[in-house]
Amino acid sequence: MSVIVITGGSRGIGASTAEHCARQGMGVILTYKSNVAAANSVVQRIQASGGNAVALELDVGDVSQFGHFRENVRQTLQATWGVETLTGLVNNAGHGLFNPLASITEAQFDGLFNVHLKGPFFLTQTLLPLLGEGASIVNLTSATTRVATPGVAPYAAFKGGLEVLTRYMAKEFADRRLRANAVSPGAIRTELGGGLNDDLEALLASQTALGRVGEPQDVAQVIAMLLSEEGRWINAQSIEVAGGYFI
Ligand SMILES: NC(=O)c1ccc[n+]([C@@H]2O[C@H](COP(=O)([O-])OP(=O)(O)OC[C@H]3O[C@@H](n4cnc5c(N)ncnc54)[C@H](OP(=O)(O)O)[C@@H]3O)[C@@H](O)[C@H]2O)c1
């Protein structure tokens, strides 16, 4: 039985990934920060279509919660699926924030750092004992690491750090045959950073070779592939999923 953890699975790309993976037969532990209703409706949709999922609360920006979370995951694995280990971890949870370099505050910087780099680093370290041999780690980065986008400097810098960290995970966890890859979305229609208004969407679509912004499912199916047997020979890569953004 294949069971994965997806952080930030209550909405957006994480919710779509949870549903896509469940349709492929994976058990899904999805986390949410505060939106328990949204998390429960993802679980209900998965169960209604014959899958199995459990929602757990977790603030990825608070490392002190991670030990307790690991015990929750361990118990959930046994109680729900009768297994000891995970086959995948998706470090997806995050928030967006627009503020130029000249005015970003230390608190905003720290908030982005905790969620987008420190959190994935220590959550992966904490869950390592539960990741079975051959498990797949997927880290969500961003096309803003490649295309400098005014107003998102710390976010993009920490996503860039996460991309580097991905290669180190692949290197240092190779003895356990774990794979680690980064998925780097372009503009995707979610609620991140307040979502897209019509003008912004039109601008982003005009900067994208395929002429539209992405949908959560466009990213979810790539993450699901990396978590599955089909992705077994893809390791230490960063895959941009952006329809040809700024090429
Ligand atoms: N959308 C894009 O255009 C885009 C582009 C590039 C990269 N990305 C990356 O893709 C990932 C998913 O983004 P999205 O667009 O799907 O975002 P979203 O629709 O805003 O959903 C964010 C998810 O993360 C959870 N979350 C937020 N802060 C958290 C925290 N501190 N601890 C735990 N969970 C937290 C939210 O939980 P609650 O529901 O409880 O709030 C929610 O499930 C992020 O890492 C983002 O940076 C997105």
pLDDT of residue 142: 98
Query: What residues contact residue 233 under an 8 Å CB cut-off, 6+ apart?
Result: none
Give a yes or no: residue 207 inside a domain. Answer: yes
pLDDT of residue 242: 98
Give a yes or no: residue 246 inside a domain. Answer: no
Distances (CA, A) of 221 to 60, 64, 85, 195, 217: 23, 32, 23, 21, 6
Three-state DSSP state, 144: helix
Copy the structure tokens of residue 218: 């466009």
pLDDT of residue 177: 97
Query: What residues contact residue 50 under an 8 Å CB cut-off, 6+ apart?
Result: none
Residues in the chain: 247
Torsion of the alpha carbons at 179, 95, 118 and 221, rounded to the nearest 10? 0
Calpha distance 140→183 (Å, rounded): 5
Backbone phi and psi for residue 222, each to the nearest 5 degrees, phi listed first: -75, -45
pLDDT of residue 24: 97
pLDDT in tens, 195-232: 999 999 999 999 999 999 999 999 999 999 999 999 99
Mean pLDDT over 12-20 rounds to 98
pLDDT in tens, 127-176: 999 999 999 999 999 999 999 999 999 999 999 999 999 999 999 999 99
Distance 8 CA to ligand 1 centre (A): 6
- Ligand 1 atom with the shortest distance to the CA of 60: 32
pLDDT grade for 64, boundaries at 50, 70 and 90? very high
Mutate to test the pocket of ligand 1, among 188, 189, 219, 240 (most ligand atoms within 8 A of CB): 188
With a 6 Å cutoff on the Cβ, whether 59 touches ligand 1 is yes
With a 6 Å cutoff on the Cβ, whether 226 touches ligand 1 is no
pLDDT of residue 89: 99
pLDDT of residue 171: 98
Give a yes or no: residue 247 inside a domain. Answer: no
* CATH code for the domain of 213: 3.40.50.720
Mean pLDDT over 80-87 rounds to 98
Span between the terminal Cα atoms of the chain, in Å: 40
pLDDT of residue 117: 99
Specify the residue for token string 């998965």. Answer: 46
Round the average pLDDT of the chain to a whole number and report it. Answer: 98
pLDDT of residue 100: 98
Owning domain of residue 57: 3-241
Give the chain's domain count: 1
pLDDT of residue 50: 97
pLDDT of residue 36: 98
Distance 207 CA to ligand 1 centre (A): 23
Q: Would you call 245 a catalytic residue per the annotation?
A: no
Please, are residues 18 and 9 in contact by the beta-carbon 8 Å criterion? yes
Taking the whole predicted model, whether its pTM rises above 0.85 is answered as yes
With a 6 Å cutoff on the Cβ, whether 94 touches ligand 1 is yes
Beta-carbon count within 10 A of 19 CB: 23
- Of the candidates 166, 184, 25, which has an alpha carbon nearest to the alpha carbon of residue 4? 25
pLDDT grade for 20, boundaries at 50, 70 and 90? very high
Distances (CA, A) of 170 to 162, 173, 182, 184, 236: 12, 6, 11, 17, 5
